[in-house]
Every structure is written in structure tokens, then in C-alpha cells.
Amino acid sequence: TASDDCSIRIWGLKQSKPFQRAMKGHTKPVSSVKVHGSKPLWVSGSWDGTIRLWEGLDRNCKLVTVINTRMKAVRDVAIANTMIQTVAAASVDGRVRLFDVVARQTL
């Protein structure tokens, strides 16, 4: 889940509680979190203008990369279910940009 306290939590469906401590790194509220369809990857977007790629869906989750989108704030994110790790980020001003998370650049 995304949170106003700048953190993210992964919840266990059966336990109804977080798998681990809150994942921190964003400096403003987190607006969106999406999980990759077939890999243990997920992406978060924040009002701080960054998107972050995380690996792992359990207690061993870790931050992989941070991308400065150069957007004022990221409203929503989406992650592609392809071999090329592409993330889409939607800004509060209505723009959508695609990012290559390996190269950490705009497509």
C-alpha cells in the first residue's frame, strides 16, 4: 500500500498484516504502487517526483533503483509485463512519460 507518511508496505493476504517493516525512501507521500505481473518487482511513485523500483515481495524486499522523473509530482505508475523493464509515470499536470528502469532514462 502507498501511504501519506512516505512509506510503502507489502501486506500478506492471509495474515492481514504487513510482511515487513515499512519501506522508506520517498520524501513526500507515495501516490501509487504497482506489482509486476510475473516477476517479484514492484514500482512506486510519489509526490516527490521520483519513481522507485523494488525487488522482492516478502521480508527481503530491497530498493533497486530510483529515477528522478523531472515531474513536479507522480500521480500514478504502471509497470510493463515484458522483458524490457518499462515504467509509465503519470504527472499531476496530465503528462505521461515512459522510463527504461535499467538505463534510468526517459524513452
Percent of the chain with pLDDT over 70: 87
- pLDDT category at 13 given cuts 50, 70, 90 is low
Per-residue pLDDT reduced to its tens digit, 44-64: 999 999 999 998 876 678 899
Q: Does pLDDT of 105 surpass 80?
A: yes
Q: Judge residue 77's burial from the number of C-beta atoms within 10 Å of its C-beta, 0-12 exposed, 13-18 middle, 19 or more buried.
A: buried
Q: Does pLDDT of 103 surpass 90?
A: no
Q: Does pLDDT of 88 surpass 90?
A: yes
pLDDT at 8: 81
